[in-house]
Structure formats: C-alpha cells, structure tokens
Amino acid sequence: MLPEKLLSYLLETAQDLLDTATYESQTHKAAVIVHWIAGLLESSAPEITPLLLAISDPVTHEALEEVTSEALLEIRLRLPDGSELFDTVLLVRR
C-alpha cells in the first residue's frame, strides 16, 4: 500500500473504531484507538516508523483520555527514505 493511502486508511479506521465503540471494546478511549492504529501500522507497513500518534482536544490541544464528542487525531510517520508524512483528522463521536 502506498504510504499516502496507508495514512488515509489509518485516519479513516480511527473514525470507524470510534463509530463502533461499545463499553466492551473501549474504542472511545484515546489509548485504545492509538493502540489499534499502531498495530495496524506495524502489521501493514513494518518499515514505516510512527513518530506521533496523538489524540487531543481540538481547541486546547490537551491530550484526551476519552473521546466524548470531538477529538483531533494527529499522525506523523517516517518513511524508509527518511521523509515524513503528517496528517490530522477531526474524530467525531456520534
């Protein structure tokens, strides 16, 4: 998978995890979402290094433990050639 497509996939998957959150899955918890994203990245592209996987308040940019309404997901990746990809998405709990 091309790195740009992988980045988009990771961002979309985070929203999917939030959309399917239940008490049992705990996928409304920031740490759980980050853990899933890291696992997907490692299994899909082990040659790509995650530099930043963070979920924060979109206004204050303070780290969040749980997504109750909106959250900013930031992902920064280092590619094997040393270049970096960075993107953000606003996660919305529906």
CATH number where 59 lies: 3.30.1300.10
**pLDDT 10s digits, 51-79:** 999 999 999 999 999 999 999 999 999 99
Residue range of the domain that includes 47: 3-92
Question: According to the model, what pLDDT value does residue 14 have?
Answer: 95
Total number of domains constituting the chain: 1
**pLDDT 10s digits, 4-43:** 899 999 999 999 999 999 989 999 999 999 999 999 999 9
Residue carrying the six token digits 């709990």: 93
Separation in Å, CA 94 to CA 6, 15, 17, 36: 24, 10, 12, 20
